Copies of this chain bind each other. A is one copy, B any other.
């Protein structure tokens, strides 16, 4: 079965990670994954959330906020700031990204700082939350190294990179890295977040049309793992490029 964009079932879309896309934050990237583009920025705020202060939890925090430009989607999306609140999907995604990224760093070594990860979707064609995780991890790796150079962190808090990719079943066939059209028709939809060393950070598999078997679950994770190995290589390259240009 041919995919809508001619890819093989186990083939990624073209991924490009452009570091330092923005002028002001400590680190940022524009990640392009096929027709999806997400700006991921890391800003350090020299404060911790109130609940950490109250409970005297030592170390720092990593949190994510996710948004979409209204014109990033097929039909214009209502702007959440003018709607007066973030939708359920937004909340769900930013919690997933925040949780995943907290696995990539040693929160104690962050000191009393909060790292804000802003993932803003410029153009959406499926897989925005995975692109957000992959892009945010790249930007965080850069920011941690720069934070040491600038004396914000005494020691590099970054432990290991994480990255994410979507997989799914369309017409009974497991496929890697779904575009929007595929995603809309998937029978099963799964997002897999892994560490560079091949461990699982988060697995979210959802039956969209029909429940799925244990065997299918394993096939899908295999496929994700195959794709993520390639993604980690691109992350490493982007981090090195960024730090050469602006250490």
Chain A interfacial positions (CB closer than 8 Å to B)? 22-25, 28, 35, 39, 41, 43, 45, 65, 67, 69-76, 79-86, 88-92, 94-95, 99, 103, 116, 118, 120, 122-125, 194-195, 197, 199-207, 210-214, 216-218, 221
Contacts and interface: CB of A to CB of B under 8 A. Distances in A.
Nearest to A117: B71
Contacts of A69: 22, 39, 41, 67, 118, 120
Contacts of A103: 207, 211
B99 A88 contact: no
> Which of the listed residues A94, A203, A216, A218 has the most CB atoms from chain B within 10 Å of its own CB?
A203
A209 to B, nearest CB: 9
Given A65-B82, A76-B43, A221-B214, A206 B99 contact: yes
Contact of A207 (B45, B71, B95, B199): B199
Contact of A24 (B45, B72, B203, B214): B72
A84 B82 contact: no
A75 B55 CA distance: 13
B73 A81 contact: no
Nearest to A162: B211
Contacts of A214: 200, 218, 221
- Top 9 nearest A-B pairs by Cβ distance? A199-B211, A41-B71, A80-B81, A43-B76, A25-B71, A81-B81, A203-B205, A88-B91, A91-B91
